[in-house]
Every structure is written in C-alpha cells, then in structure tokens.
Structure 1
C-alpha cells in the first residue's frame, strides 16, 4: 500500500456548465446526447448528473456536507489530466452523500478523458490495462470509528490544510450513511499526487454501515483497487483487475465485512490482500471479515496476503490459483504474529493451487510455530476446476473485465 497524499490545491469557485434549450420560450431541449459538462469545486446543494451527458472532473469535485450528488445509471464520468495539485477526483466529504446507483445493463463508468469511450458505450477502444494513473479516483469520507496514532477521533487526510472545510474522516457513528454506490466501474486512475503517492480507485475513509457498497469494479488503477481506512461499511461483489499496488487494502481497524471479491493480478500488482491493523490503541475485538474471495495470480510472483500491524481478521472461503513459485501468505511483524497465536487472525476454508511441489508450510511465511493455524485450514488443489470455495464470479458478467476475458 502506498498511503495517498493530497497536495495542497486551490478549490475554484463552483461554475458548472449547463445545457441550453433551443429558445427562450420554454421550447424542447435539443442539447445532443453526450454533451460534455465540466465540473469543478464544491457541490453545496443537491444535484443530479444525468446519463444524457458525459461529465468531466476538472480537478477536485467535492460533495459538501448536507449535499447529495445523484448520478444516474449509465452515466460516464471522465477525470481530466493533471498531476499533484491539479489531479482530478470525486471527493464525498463527511455529511455529504453520493447516490450512484448503476445497473448491470447500465453501469456508471468513471474513466480518463484520454479514454475514447462515448455516450451510450460501455468501453472505449484505445486504452488497455497497461494505461494507469491517468486521473485520480473516488474518495468517500464518513463519520464511523477509526484507529489512528494518538487515538484521535478523526483525522485529516494528509496534505489538506487543517483550515480547509473538507478532508476529515472518522468519528463515533458506526451507522453513518455516505450514500449508495452500485454497479460502478472505475478505470485507469491512481494519478501521482506526490512522491510514491497515488490515489486509490475507491477510498473509503471512516465510512459507516448506513452506506451501500455493491458491485464495484476497479481496473488498471496505479495504486490500490479499494482501500478502507477504518470504518464499518460492508461491501459485496468487488472486482479488482490489474492494479499497480494492492487489490484490497484495510487499515485503521476496519470492522466491516467485504464479501464475494475477485482479484486478478496484473504485471505490476503488489499484494492481492494488504491487511493492516490499528494505528492507535483502539481495536475492534472481532476484527473485520473477508469472505468468499478468489485470487488469480496471473502466473506472477504474488504476495497473496500481507498481514500487518497486528490486524484482527477472519479470512474465510478463499481460493487462490495461478500463482508463481515463491508466492506467499506473509505474517508481517511481531504484532501480527501475536494475533495469530491468540487466534485473532483466523483462516477458514482456503483452497490453493500450489506451484510445483510447494507445500502449505512453505507458502505461509513469518508464522513460525503458528504455521499450522494456516496449514490445517487450507487445502492443496491440483487444478482450479476442483475449487469449492471462493467468489461467485457469475455476478461479474456486467464488468469491463468480463468483456475483455480477464476471467
């Protein structure tokens, strides 16, 4: 995981482009479908982006506290070019809401302005999974608990000055509601905003259980696919393909459940799962749960799971295949080793197609005498067709990854 760092940037005053009717007497609106509408700055009142237009994120677009941004099914949103202070992203501030409910037939697509996808299409023709970091990503900030250094209740995202009106995440409201995200495809993001710092495809900072996260795809993001910074939000039906760092990443004592996820590694991918523990003293006793996970290593050297910083987690029904020799599940550091020994890192029903003569004991590293806690809960398969656990991949038929035969 590369911790994302926002550079200081000036927020332009809100000046949205609007469509015009064909006359001043209330005649029919003849604005052609696919008209590009630029957006920048703060959204301070309820607003709807309709699927007849293509929206351009010109820098940061911030959904402010008390405002709701609704995005219609089938809408295409493109992030403008620009690095560091000029990076484009959609940010939902604490108290703001994003209602972005696509459908399997009409997903909402976030991509780059360099993507030649047009209104009414589901994919362009000029970009591939090698095209990363062309814009920012989506960042949702809520008021659910986090665990940070100093045991602070909230934290400001690094790089945004404390006097800015947005950027905080964390709080005490486990059931906080930041909106609803369904059937969303996020492509070619993760723009560089500082040395070794990029934006995740979808960042969830202190997001609560009142928020709906379902059917999300992240493709070719320069940094992580999806990252949770604390919070309690549940998520289901997640697909991450060919990202430049981690597939799924948890931090700051995330306490929710992520269920039914398919992670397909790319040529530059890091860990399939990077799972961090609390940064402060607060830790959720029951930890978080990852369940029904399939990891396709794409025949590359793969860090299947990096278990760090004393995480507490339940890792259930995980299927791993197409991994290279030397791939591993890593228990990283003394704090994580202690949690494993105390049965607060729990493995249940793992099935792995191992390369060559690799054994399960060789596959888990850093566990020492506690290796059996993994080995006795895992099984070796000789082919992927034998799998009885993992994700139900049939639910991902709507995705860009499926259209490109990535699985």
Structure 2
C-alpha cells in the first residue's frame, strides 16, 4: 500500500478536499486490485474533508470516506451507477458521514441493475457485487447520508435555518432550511445505505438518510436503508417528494417526519428488526409555520420479538394524511397511537386523516388505533378513535406498497421472500 499526495491539477478536477480548518491536500490511499472482479487496476480511493469543486465518483474503484466528507455550496457530487462507497467508522463528532450542504448537489443515479451502495469499510462487498458480507443486524459502523436544503422548516422560535442533528454546531455546513420550497439538491435514485448510525453523543445518532429542508426540485426515488442505529429516513421540514423507499431493521423509527414536512411519500415499506421502535413516527411543526405531510401506499411489516415495535406514533401536533396502508406481523397489543390531547385535537379538526388501512392478524382490525393522553389529560375524541377507525380499517392479507419495485434491494436478496 502506498500513500500519494495529489494536487487538484494532477487529479484533473476529479477530487477536491480541503476542510475549512485544515489546508492540507487530500490524501489518496491507493490499493491496486482490491476492488474485486477481474480488474487488477482497480483502486481504493479515500476522501476526507471538504469537497470544493465538482467531482465524479466512478464505478471502477472502491471509494472510502474518512471522517466528515462535505460537498460545499456551489459544487456537485456525481456518483456513477454501480459505485461502491465504504466509510471508516471515525469517532463521535468526527464519524464518517457524507454531507450535501445547502446550495450543493448530489447526482447519485444508480439503476436497478447497478445500484449505488454506501456501506461500512468492514463490509467485504467488492466491485460488481450488490450483496455485502454484513447482515441487517450490523449497525453503527459509520454515519450516513445527510442532504441539506433551503426549503422551509418549522423550527422552535421560528428561526429560518437550524443545525442538523448529528453534526457539531461549530460546522456551519450543517445548517438547513430557508424560504425556497422548490430548492434543488439533486437526485438520489437506486441507492442502498447500509450499517450506519454512528453515535455522536448521548442520544445523538445519524440517520441512514437525513433530509433537512430539502425542496421539491430534488428527486428521491428507489432508496433503501438497512441496519441503521437510529431512524431509517428522517424528514426535517422541507417539501421534497420521495417514492419507492425501503427501510429494514432500523434501531429506532423507520420513517420519521418532523418540523412540518409537507411533501408526499409514495410507495414505501418498513420491515422491522428485532430492536426496531415505531415503523412511523410523525411529529408536527415546532414553530408557527404549519405544513401537512402525505403518505400514500405504505406497507408496515412488524417484528415478532422487538419489545418496542409499534406501528405508528402521531405526536407533537402532527398534521397530514396517511392513505392506503397494509399492516402485518406486529405483536398483539402494538398500536397506531395519537400521543396526546394536542394531536387528538388535530384529528378532531381534520388536520390528521386516515384512509384505507388493511390489517392482517388482528381482530377487530380497528383495535390497533388508540388515543393516548399525557399527564393530567383525558381522552377527547367521541366516539372513540378506535371506534371511528372502523370507517377506514378492514382485515386483509395484502395491500399498501407495490413490493415488486424493490427487487433490486439488499432486503429482497436477504429476507427469504418478505420482499418478492
């Protein structure tokens, strides 16, 4: 193995990497032939620090992230179909993570036959492969993918921009939010994100895919998150629409919505693991700006063993619509809950709605819908939330998401027929 220091000119504009507090040129670690397959000229290439020019990650090398790798404002990261990106673990605030800052772009255009894979350096996956050597229960080996935009967020104190969780406050590249609902952060299609969620501090982990203030100009389609410590995919405000999402074996919530996210998620599946929490966790605005999410065509597959494996939790003033959902595999007594009087009042006022939920294995099907109360509160929905749920809930064995579109995923290859 040899370490080489390259100037930007010698790299031909492919790589640029200077952190804001470190002017050293990027270090390229070159390991011929370790990429797998028949190409003995393949090279493992390590990226670290700030990317300050347009770059392309090609599919003829294993690209490795060492610490925070940030695509800074005005620059575009292009990732070819079939590219494999591995990340070293890093430590706490310096955990390896890929960040697309505000006014930067990512163009990650994989295909069903050649998805882009983001995983840990401990994964033995090689060039040309799509299945790794780690399973869904291997979590927290690196950070994840964070995309930050200029779309509106509803933050406490009505601040226009905020610092994303998982990134130290000293790094202003972690800011997200603004006033441009149509903001464009690029394209993410056919991307599999695996084994992430490094613990930054107590109760502060990185999600598999974090979308902070991302706008409608951005395309999010065919994305898989496997084995993340925290949430699979979390939306912090923003307006971006997302489709064909799969989350498997997350440590916390599958899909998490916060800060008045007002986009639409279409065709998504959450497959709980043995330590998963809620499949859906939905929070509302934190400031005065309101916004309503839409979830359409959703499949929630529960775990027979996860102690906290609930269907969904609507809380903190949640606003939005959840339509055409299939629920299966959850333990008895697990529920879809309205968390307190505030969110129950939103239901009464028509700010939260549910249509066409199909429930397998629970009788009566509507019994999974429960109104809960905070300290000193009493239920306020009459007839009860459970009784009203009979209007939109039926028993059945199929529905929700179209699972046939997930044939390209690691989950499809590894779950013994759960995803066909």
TM-score (norm 1): 0.89
SS of equivalent residue, structure 1 residue 323? coil
Please give the alpha-carbon distance, in whole angstroms, between the structure 2 residues aligned to 1:362 and 1:88.
40
Equivalent of residue 394 in structure 2, options 379, 384, 387: 379
CA contact (8 A) 2:316 2:343 kept: yes
Deviation at 1:353, TM superposition (A): 1.1
Matched, 1:51 2:59: yes
Please give the alpha-carbon distance, in whole angstroms, between the structure 2 residues aligned to 1:161 and 1:403.
37
Cα 1:11–1:253 change in 2 (3 A) is farther
Aligned residues between the structures: 382
SS of equivalent residue, structure 2 residue 347? helix
SS of equivalent residue, structure 2 residue 243? strand
CA contact (8 A) 2:213 2:237 kept: yes
Partner in structure 2 of residue 344 of structure 1: 351
In structure 1, list runs of 5 or more residues that go unmatched: 1-8, 22-30
Partner in structure 2 of residue 295 of structure 1: 300
Cα 1:18–1:133 change in 2 (3 A) is closer
Please give the alpha-carbon distance, in whole angstroms, between the structure 1 residues aligned to 2:226 and 2:239.
24
In structure 2, list runs of 5 or more residues that go unmatched: 1-19, 33-38, 373-378
SS of equivalent residue, structure 1 residue 218? strand
Matched, 1:15 2:23: no
Matched, 1:275 2:290: no
Partner in structure 2 of residue 236 of structure 1: 243
Equivalent of residue 89 in structure 1, options 90, 97, 112: 97
Please give the alpha-carbon distance, in whole angstroms, between the structure 1 residues aligned to 2:299 and 2:58.
35
Deviation at 1:299, TM superposition (A): 2.6
Partner in structure 2 of residue 394 of structure 1: 404
Which structure 2 residues correspond to residues 69-148 of structure 1 after superposition, within 5 A?
Answer: 69-125=77-133, 127-148=134-155
Deviation at 1:374, TM superposition (A): 2.5
CA contact (8 A) 1:13 1:41 kept: no
- CA displacement 1:241-283 (0-9 Å, x = unmatched): 0110100000000000001001100001010000000011110
Cα 1:378–1:13 change in 2 (3 A) is farther
CA contact (8 A) 2:207 2:233 kept: yes
Deviation at 1:19, TM superposition (A): 7.2
Cα 1:83–1:373 change in 2 (3 A) is farther
CA contact (8 A) 1:275 1:306 kept: yes
Deviation at 1:164, TM superposition (A): 3.7
Cα 1:291–1:42 change in 2 (3 A) is same
CA contact (8 A) 2:267 2:402 kept: yes
Please give the alpha-carbon distance, in whole angstroms, between the structure 1 residues aligned to 2:281 and 2:326.
16
Tell which deviates more after alignment, 9-18 or 179-188. Answer: 9-18
Q: Root-mean-square deviation (CA), in Å? A: 2.2
Please give the alpha-carbon distance, in whole angstroms, between the structure 2 residues aligned to 1:332 and 1:375.
19
CA contact (8 A) 1:190 1:200 kept: yes
SS of equivalent residue, structure 2 residue 401? coil
Please give the alpha-carbon distance, in whole angstroms, between the structure 1 residues aligned to 2:168 and 2:304.
43
Please give the alpha-carbon distance, in whole angstroms, between the structure 2 residues aligned to 1:338 and 1:132.
38
Equivalent of residue 327 in structure 1, options 334, 343, 360: 334
Matched, 1:360 2:371: no
TM-score (norm 2): 0.86
Deviation at 1:39, TM superposition (A): 0.1
SS of equivalent residue, structure 1 residue 166? helix
Please give the alpha-carbon distance, in whole angstroms, between the structure 2 residues aligned to 1:243 and 1:345.
26
Bigger RCO of structures 1 and 2 (CA < 8 A, at least 6 apart)? 1
CA contact (8 A) 1:11 1:60 kept: no
Please give the alpha-carbon distance, in whole angstroms, between the structure 1 residues aligned to 2:108 and 2:259.
26
SS of equivalent residue, structure 2 residue 196? coil
Matched, 1:176 2:169: no
Please give the alpha-carbon distance, in whole angstroms, between the structure 2 residues aligned to 1:362 and 1:239.
23
Deviation at 1:82, TM superposition (A): 2.0
Please give the alpha-carbon distance, in whole angstroms, between the structure 1 residues aligned to 2:24 and 2:207.
26
Please give the alpha-carbon distance, in whole angstroms, between the structure 1 residues aligned to 2:408 and 2:42.
22
Which structure 2 residues correspond to residues 32-47 of structure 1 after superposition, within 5 A?
Answer: 32-47=40-55
Matched, 1:315 2:315: no
- CA displacement 1:53-103 (0-9 Å, x = unmatched): 111100010000000010100000001022202310000000000000000
Please give the alpha-carbon distance, in whole angstroms, between the structure 2 residues aligned to 1:54 and 1:194.
29
